[in-house]
A and B are shown apart, each in its own frame.
Chain A
Amino acid sequence: MRVIVIGAGEVGWSTAQALQTDHDVVLIEKEPERFETLQELDVLALCGNGASLKTLKEAGAERAEMAIACTDIDEVNIVACAAAKQLGTKLTIARVQDAEYLQTWKRGYLGVDEMVCSELITAQALARLMGLREIRASEEFADGKILMTETIIEENAPIIGLKLKDAAIPPQCNVASIVRDGRVTIPRGDDVILAHDRLVLIGTPSAVGEFNRRLSLHPTVKDILIIGGGRIGFRLAQLLQPQGLHPKIVEIEEERSRWLAENLPQSIVFHGDGTDIDLLEQEGLGKSEIAVSVIGIDEKNLLCGLLLKRLGVAKVIARVEDPDFVAIFERVGIDIAINPRRLVAEEIISFTRDRIEKTLFLEENRAEVLEIEVSPQSPLLGVKLAQAQLPAGLLVGAIVRAERVIIPRGSDALRPRDRVILFSTPEAAREIERLL
């Protein structure tokens, strides 16, 4: 199908790259300098204003299945979607940064079918990581009915030395994988949990949460520090406040810090620099349980993050805009590096998939979690999972059948229109996609 991507920034680029193999992608970019670099992609590149009818016509908006507007200017994206819709594009997706626009817009309004808000997506992703110190990744599937977490087992955790089958795992929770020394294995009941293991759990949010608390040495998190009170920092605090948390925010701009203090009554706002050691020590911020550095400058986030880690913060999360830095950040000591643009690109790409709702890559792409709707033609229908010839390195983590969540055992079988959440190696993933 024909997909028009407007804006070849980080988000547009990633989106186009992900779509180029399966779709005819037309990429519209206004800046001639950036336009030059598009030759690397297997797409039709157009130079022009994506919000103008002329350019959109040229891009073939009349017969396009989808238009994705992801320039850095929210208003341009909305106008571009409206224009494409008017020309006959079937589905329009606008990326916005300001969450205020989400309130202005309702599904289908303004010619925008879907709105993806980067600050909100990032803040939500961060908020999901705030539950426990030990959680290193957290993702929702099937509209929030399924939660997947990756949890690190700290030394002295009560569960160390137990076999999985003796660990009293709640029935609605599945241990999908154990990551040990960088190796991903799909566990059996006899496997023993060791310190520094990472457990990937899939199940209902309550069951996963319950088991995580059992794994943890610190069952609740109270002390959260946010460095940088920009849009993401503000949204994050806003999401944390209703959970009874009182996040501390350090903001460098005086005017902004006053605004934050006025608009976040449950938060504690400091005016200062995240790298000001005196401030961090005097206010005990270096003793926070979880710290998030979401300033707009990658290097500063790294610096703040490492400083906080050194001061004794148990878990440090940093925002990274440059995708090349993600791995570096995690290598030098930041516990989790979050790339807002990648999150947005993933969210946008999920709209282009027919049956695969969502894909999540773990452990530097050594494993992935997929959400797939079972096709009525699948040869696996009606076959008990224990008897099915499933590829090696694959685990059916959960089945969502008409709003009901099933954690499958060997005796369960798939039915048409089931949504399955799979944990798999990349090779097994290609195979199972075909089978389902």
Chain B
Amino acid sequence: MMRRWDLSVDLRVAFHLIGIILKGNALTFLVPLIVALLYRESIIPFLVPAALSLLIGWAVEWATRGEREIGLRESFLVVAVVWVVAAAFGAMPFVLAGVLKPVDAYFEAMSGYTTTGASIITNVETQTHSLLIWRAFMQWLGGLGIVALFVAIFPNLAIGGRQIMEAEAAWLVRDKLTPRLRQAARSFWGIYIGLTFAEILLLWGVGLSLYEAVAHAFTTLATGGFSTRNAGIADFSGLVAWIIIPFMILGATSFTLMYRALLGRTLRFFAADEEFKFFIGILALATLVLFLNSLGLYESIEEALRHSAFQATSIMTTTGYASTDFDQWNSLGKFILLLLMFFGGSAGSTTGSIKVLRALVIFKLIAREIQRIIHPQRVIPVRLGGRVVPEEAIKSILILAVLYVTIFAFSTALLLLDTTRAGLQLTVADAASAVAATMGSVGPGFGIVGPMSTYADLPTTSKALLVFCMWIGRLEIFPVIVLFARSYWKG
């Protein structure tokens, strides 16, 4: 028997899975629906996409029925397409509620699922509770990966699940905490839900309304960044910012690490983890520089420290909350934030961007190359936490980083081209920050896309470009880029 999926992509298998996932996706609209009922708001914006998702999902599943195994190629397709399709359904409530035009709504939804937090909505505070909860909930769902969510829930997905999850989040499969993939996925969701509840309680405890506490807990742990206020976290007391900081850090911490620490009931694992220490080290250094740089800018030392720590954490963890208008900071401060956008958090967390693990390996690689120049014949393996990083892995890390920066550069050029065409005057820093913030799933950038403004003023073509950046950035480039290879489809 000739195995079709070895030669080219088996679309039937791929779409069969997409159909199943769409059916599950319909359930997610229950959350804003309940909120709408509680606040006596219209349920139509959520009922329609839920029904459509269920119907289309069921139809696709039925049309492609049949027993077949999923291969590696189909996995990439499933992952890439699921995020695109999910965003389409996720955009519907904004259109149906009459808030945004379809393209803007799609931008908003993609920004949601990819946990970016870049927004088009100019006045958030006039929106309905249910719509803002939906916006936050999309980020919460996207935090650990949409596909991972459905693998955790649906038993019939577990067969091909490993392949798909490998395409979406290779770290989860690679770490092999438990022999069964679904079990691992469930443990991570358990931690995720637990942390979310903890943050809701704390925020509620310091005076936020339950609704705002929930909305912010959703977007903190997903390192998303959507807020219910136009001014974001700057609207709340300093205490709220101090509470949010550790939760952003937890969201940016490897879930495997947290799982181990939880099982072993000890924090020793954090102290022993090289990646975590490196992450905290960079964060502390950035905070220190920003703090020294912002002295005199704020009324008190505490305020300067709070804003420095909050902004460094928010940007590095790719959350994108603002506790102050950092667009007003001097060039040094903004440049530090721009650099942080390229780091992200730990591998296996909810953050986007290149991730500190890769940065750490690249730094070690640089150190090794220097040693190699001095000792040309010396054999020096790259070690991470005592374990040797295989040369193959180093290569793919390096390629990903180079690809990331290349796509960043091209997209920035395209953005400048497109905005100039539309008659907008973007500085290089503004354009670079917009691309870095969307690719890295951070959210706000500087200038026209700064923390106190939105992406609304950009031309439609630029928005489409940035949607692409969010998508490819969130999926760590490869699952998307293989789809553009001719040999992926043929032979």
Which B residue sits closest to A273, measured CB to CB? B377
> Does B381 sit within 8 A of A, measured CB to CB?
yes
Q: Of A260, A262, A283, which one neighbours B377 at CB under 8 angstroms?
A: A283
Measured CA separation A282–B383 after assembly (Å): 26
Most buried by A among B376, B377, B381, B388: B377
Q: How far is the CB of B375 from chain A (nearest CB, A)?
A: 6
Q: How far is the CB of B367 from chain A (nearest CB, A)?
A: 15
Measured CA separation A268–B380 after assembly (Å): 8
- A269 close to B378 (CB less than 8 A): yes
Which A residue sits closest to B383, measured CB to CB? A265
- B377 close to A271 (CB less than 8 A): yes
- B377 close to A279 (CB less than 8 A): yes
> Does A293 sit within 8 A of B, measured CB to CB?
no
- A262 close to B381 (CB less than 8 A): yes
- B379 close to A260 (CB less than 8 A): yes
Contact with B along A9-26 (1 / 0, CB 8 A): 000000000000000000
Q: How far is the CB of B396 from chain A (nearest CB, A)?
A: 18
Measured CA separation A271–B376 after assembly (Å): 9
Contact with A along B368-401 (1 / 0, CB 8 A): 0000000111111101001010000000000000
Contact with A along B66-85 (1 / 0, CB 8 A): 00000000000000000000
> Does A125 sit within 8 A of B, measured CB to CB?
no
Which B residue sits closest to A258, measured CB to CB? B379
- A261 close to B379 (CB less than 8 A): yes
Q: Chain B interface secondary structure, helix, strand, loop or mixed?
A: loop
CB within 8 Å of B: which A233-291 residues: 251, 257-258, 260-262, 265, 268-272, 279, 282-283
**Chain A contacts for B386, CB-based, 8 A:** 265
- B378 close to A262 (CB less than 8 A): no
Measured CA separation A268–B377 after assembly (Å): 11
Which B residue sits closest to A279, measured CB to CB? B377
Q: How far is the CB of A49 from chain B (nearest CB, A)?
A: 41
- A270 close to B388 (CB less than 8 A): no
- A261 close to B377 (CB less than 8 A): no
- B381 close to A261 (CB less than 8 A): yes
Measured CA separation A265–B379 after assembly (Å): 11
Contact with A along B117-141 (1 / 0, CB 8 A): 0000000000000000000000000
Q: How far is the CB of A379 from chain B (nearest CB, A)?
A: 61
Measured CA separation A282–B378 after assembly (Å): 11
**Chain A contacts for B377, CB-based, 8 A:** 270-272, 279, 283
**Chain B contacts for A265, CB-based, 8 A:** 383, 386
Q: Of A251, A257, A270, which one neighbours B375 at CB under 8 angstroms?
A: A270
How many residues on A have C-beta within 8 angstroms of the other chain's C-beta atoms? 15
- Contacts between chains A and B (CB distance < 8 A), count: 29
Most buried by A among B378, B380, B383, B388: B378
Q: How far is the CB of B145 from chain A (nearest CB, A)?
A: 32
Which B residue sits closest to A269, measured CB to CB? B379
Contact with A along B352-368 (1 / 0, CB 8 A): 00000000000000000
- A283 close to B379 (CB less than 8 A): no
Measured CA separation A283–B375 after assembly (Å): 7
- B381 close to A268 (CB less than 8 A): no
Most buried by A among B379, B380, B383, B388: B379
Q: How far is the CB of A340 from chain B (nearest CB, A)?
A: 25
Most buried by B among A262, A271, A272, A282: A262
Q: How far is the CB of B365 from chain A (nearest CB, A)?
A: 15
**Chain B contacts for A261, CB-based, 8 A:** 379-381
Which A residue sits closest to B388, measured CB to CB? A262
- A268 close to B388 (CB less than 8 A): no
CB within 8 Å of B: which A363-391 residues: none
CB within 8 Å of B: which A112-165 residues: none
- A257 close to B379 (CB less than 8 A): yes
Measured CA separation A271–B379 after assembly (Å): 6
**Chain B contacts for A279, CB-based, 8 A:** 377
Which B residue sits closest to A270, measured CB to CB? B377
Which A residue sits closest to B386, measured CB to CB? A265
**Chain A contacts for B388, CB-based, 8 A:** 262
Measured CA separation A251–B380 after assembly (Å): 13
Measured CA separation A270–B380 after assembly (Å): 9
**Chain B contacts for A283, CB-based, 8 A:** 375, 377-378
Which B residue sits closest to A265, measured CB to CB? B383
Q: How far is the CB of A288 from chain B (nearest CB, A)?
A: 15
Q: How far is the CB of A350 from chain B (nearest CB, A)?
A: 39
Which A residue sits closest to B376, measured CB to CB? A282
- B379 close to A270 (CB less than 8 A): yes
Q: How far is the CB of B390 from chain A (nearest CB, A)?
A: 9
CB within 8 Å of B: which A317-373 residues: none
- A270 close to B383 (CB less than 8 A): no
Contact with A along B36-75 (1 / 0, CB 8 A): 0000000000000000000000000000000000000000
Which A residue sits closest to B378, measured CB to CB? A270
Q: How far is the CB of B440 from chain A (nearest CB, A)?
A: 33
**Chain A contacts for B375, CB-based, 8 A:** 270, 283
Measured CA separation A409–B76 after assembly (Å): 83
Which B residue sits closest to A263, measured CB to CB? B388
Q: How far is the CB of A254 from chain B (nearest CB, A)?
A: 8
Q: How far is the CB of A287 from chain B (nearest CB, A)?
A: 15
Measured CA separation A257–B375 after assembly (Å): 14
**Chain A contacts for B380, CB-based, 8 A:** 261, 269
- B378 close to A258 (CB less than 8 A): no
- A268 close to B383 (CB less than 8 A): no
Q: Of A258, A270, A272, A282, which one neighbours B381 at CB under 8 angstroms?
A: A258
Measured CA separation A262–B378 after assembly (Å): 12
Measured CA separation A261–B388 after assembly (Å): 9
Measured CA separation A265–B381 after assembly (Å): 9
Measured CA separation A265–B388 after assembly (Å): 10
Measured CA separation A145–B375 after assembly (Å): 42
Q: How far is the CB of B374 from chain A (nearest CB, A)?
A: 9
**Chain B contacts for A271, CB-based, 8 A:** 377-379
Which A residue sits closest to B387, measured CB to CB? A262
**Chain B contacts for A282, CB-based, 8 A:** 376
Which B residue sits closest to A268, measured CB to CB? B378
Measured CA separation A270–B388 after assembly (Å): 17
Measured CA separation A279–B381 after assembly (Å): 19
Q: How far is the CB of A72 from chain B (nearest CB, A)?
A: 29
Measured CA separation A261–B378 after assembly (Å): 9
Measured CA separation A94–B383 after assembly (Å): 38
Measured CA separation A260–B380 after assembly (Å): 10
Measured CA separation A251–B378 after assembly (Å): 10
Measured CA separation A282–B373 after assembly (Å): 12
Q: How far is the CB of A131 from chain B (nearest CB, A)?
A: 27
Considering the complex of A and B, which 5 residue pairs feature the smallest CB-CB distances, nearest first?
Answer: A261-B379, A269-B379, A262-B388, A272-B377, A257-B379
Known contacts A269-B380, A270-B379, A279-B377, then 18 further A-B pairs from the complex at CB < 8 Å, ordered by chain A residue: A251-B379, A257-B379, A258-B379, A258-B381, A260-B379, A261-B381, A262-B381, A262-B388, A265-B383, A265-B386, A268-B378, A270-B375, A270-B377, A271-B378, A271-B379, A272-B377, A283-B375, A283-B378
15 A-B pairs with CB atoms under 8 Å apart are A251-B379, A257-B379, A258-B381, A260-B379, A261-B379, A261-B381, A265-B383, A269-B378, A269-B379, A269-B380, A270-B378, A271-B377, A271-B378, A282-B376, A283-B377
Interface residues of A (CB under 8 A from B): 251, 257-258, 260-262, 265, 268-272, 279, 282-283
